[in-house]
């Protein structure tokens, strides 16, 4: 095992619209580049792991002594060559070059790359292109046949001497090391890459990971002579829900689910029921400040799933109207809301039509 792993983390992330350089943003609980280091360490395939960065002072080397942090160059290819020059003194047999912006490769892929080097000088993972690609040569447009085109990923694996010799002679700016071999008509072995091994280029690429789930539950007693409100809608019924407010179990559960997903405590903290000013408050009014907290913190709703638990009234009769009302109050498309009716086999207080309960799960996403 005389393998070395070079991780390039010195990019300027020009396409990544953020104050923090992309390689240092927190992704899945840790800075982006750490995922690659940890996987390389776990694989036990490498003698040394070299992290190439813009500014050594920005990173504390808290890893094992086999991890070395060095300063890179202006272009990606400069940093790659600096890394290769650094490891030359160790007389490596093989080297893998990897972009820190791809944190999701598998240990199996690392193993496959190293294994394939036994019979090949350059091994590159590829995936089929998902988009139809056009290209332009001197104002003339061409279609790239999707069946004959594919995307290359990193890590890319090489016999050290072959890559080193090509790299020191290289004159053009290259986007990956495979390019060097291809430009020089040298044989490259392509192996199956991974669709999950995405390159984080734009902020949108990682926002999908900022999804949070919240749960809410509420129950109110039914009493004669009170108006019944469910989901902000007045429902004709002989009884209404007792409570400090209008007792709207659906809205109360939604509020708690949203606060839960945002990790902002609960409805009781926002609206203490010993406060006179909240007496008989309509629930849509209680929802408003919660929506404001969401807007302020750039949270958006993915979906709302509601279980209304009661014997009467029958949910099916009011489902569409309640969803429409909620969609207005939450300011979201009604297709994001689902409402299920649940009876309880006449059991307990709910079964005897003395109470109505509700449970809600929401999923929200944060964009910033």
Q: Each residue of 32-68: b (16+ CB within 10 Å) or e?
A: bbbbbbebbbebebbebbbbbbbeeeebeeebeeebb
Task: Kindly write out the interface string for residues 314-333 of this chain, putting x where it contacts Zn ion by CB under 5 A and - elsewhere.
Answer: --------------------
What gap in Å lies between CA 1 and CA 110, rounded to an integer?
Answer: 13
Residue nearest to Zn ion as judged by C-beta position: 252
244 burial type by CB count under 10 A (0-12 exposed, 13-18 middle, 19+ buried): middle
Determine the 3-state secondary structure of 216 from DSSP. strand
Nearer to Zn ion, 188 or 290 (CB): 290
Copy the structure tokens of residue 275.
């406060």
Q: Which is nearer to Zn ion, 53 or 308 (CB)?
A: 308
Contact region with Zn ion (CB under 5 A), list: 179-187, 190-198, 245-253, 297-305: 245-253
Give the torsion through C-alpha atoms of 164, 170, 176, 179, to 10 deg.
-100
Q: By C-beta, is 174 or 251 nearer to Zn ion?
A: 251
Separation CA 52–CA 38 (nearest Å): 15
Q: How far is the CB of 354 from Zn ion (least distance, A)?
A: 16
Comparing CA positions, the residue from 73, 83, 66, 74 lying closest to residue 7 is 83
Min dist. Cβ of residue 321 to Zn ion (A): 20
Minimum CB–partner distance for residue 344 and Zn ion (Å): 18
Distance separating alpha carbons of residues 39 and 19, to the nearest angstrom: 27
Q: Which stretch binds Zn ion (CB under 5 A): 50-58, 249-257, 258-266, 310-318?
A: 249-257
Positions in 29-68 near Zn ion (CB under 5 A): none
Q: Provide, rounded to whole angstroms, the least separation between the CB of residue 248 and Zn ion.
A: 7
Three-state SS across 59-91? CCCCCCCCEEEEECCCCHHHHHHHHHHHHHCCC
Least gap, CB of 359 to Zn ion (angstroms): 12
| # residues near Zn ion by CB under 5 A | 2
Minimum CB separation of residue 41 from Zn ion in Å reads 51
Q: Shortest CA distance to 196 belongs to which of 28, 24, 16, 9?
A: 28
Q: Which of 252, 260, 287, 313 touches Zn ion by CB under 5 A?
A: 252
Smallest distance from Zn ion to CB 311, Å? 19
Write the interaction track for Zn ion spanning residues 210-229; mark x where CB under 5 A is met and - where it is not: --------x-----------
Name the residue nearer to Zn ion (CB basis): 102 or 252: 252
Minimum CB separation of residue 279 from Zn ion in Å reads 14
Q: Rule CB under 5 A: is residue 256 a binding residue for Zn ion? A: no
Tell the burial category of 203 from Cβ atoms under 10 Å away from its Cβ (0-12, 13-18, 19+).
middle
Residue with Cβ nearer Zn ion (113 or 219): 219
Contact set with Zn ion (CB under 5 A)? 218, 252
């Amino acid at each position: 095992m005389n393998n070395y792993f070079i991780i390039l983390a010195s990019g300027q992330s020009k396409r990544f619209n953020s104050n923090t350089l992309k390689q240092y943003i927190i992704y899945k609980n840790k800075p982006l580049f750490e995922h690659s280091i940890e996987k390389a360490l776990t694989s036990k395939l490498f003698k040394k792991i070299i992290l190439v960065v813009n500014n050594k002072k920005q990173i504390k080397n808290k890893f094992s002594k086999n991890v070395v942090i060095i300063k890179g160059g202006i272009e990606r290819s400069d940093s790659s060559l600096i890394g290769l020059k650094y490891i030359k003194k160790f007389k490596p047999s093989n080297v893998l070059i990897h972009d820190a912006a791809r944190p999701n490769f598998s240990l199996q892929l690392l193993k496959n790359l190293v294994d394939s080097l036994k019979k090949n000088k350059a091994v590159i993972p590829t995936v089929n292109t998902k988009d139809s690609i056009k290209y332009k040569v001197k104002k003339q447009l061409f279609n790239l046949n999707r069946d004959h085109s594919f995307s290359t990923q990193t890590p890319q694996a090489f016999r050290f001497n072959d890559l080193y010799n090509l790299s020191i002679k290289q004159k053009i700016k290259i986007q990956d090391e495979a390019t060097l071999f291809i430009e020089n008509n040298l044989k490259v072995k392509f192996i199956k890459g991974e669709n999950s091994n995405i390159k984080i280029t734009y902020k949108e690429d990682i926002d999908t990971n900022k999804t949070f789930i919240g749960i809410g539950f509420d129950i109110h007693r039914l009493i004669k002579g009170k108006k019944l409100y469910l989901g902000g809608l007045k429902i004709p019924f002989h009884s209404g829900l007792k409570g400090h407010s209008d007792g709207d179990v659906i809205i109360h559960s939604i509020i708690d689910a949203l606060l839960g997903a945002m990790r902002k405590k609960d409805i009781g903290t926002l609206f203490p029921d010993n406060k006179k000013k909240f007496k008989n408050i309509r629930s849509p009014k209680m929802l408003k400040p919660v929506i404001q907290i969401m807007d302020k913190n750039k949270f958006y709703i993915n979906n709302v799933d509601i279980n209304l638990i009661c014997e009467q009234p029958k949910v099916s009769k009011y489902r569409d109207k309640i969803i429409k009302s909620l969609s207005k109050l939450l300011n979201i498309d009604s297709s994001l809301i689902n409402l299920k009716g649940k009876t309880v086999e006449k059991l307990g207080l709910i079964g005897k039509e003395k109470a109505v309960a509700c449970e809600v799960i929401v999923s929200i996403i944060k964009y910033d």
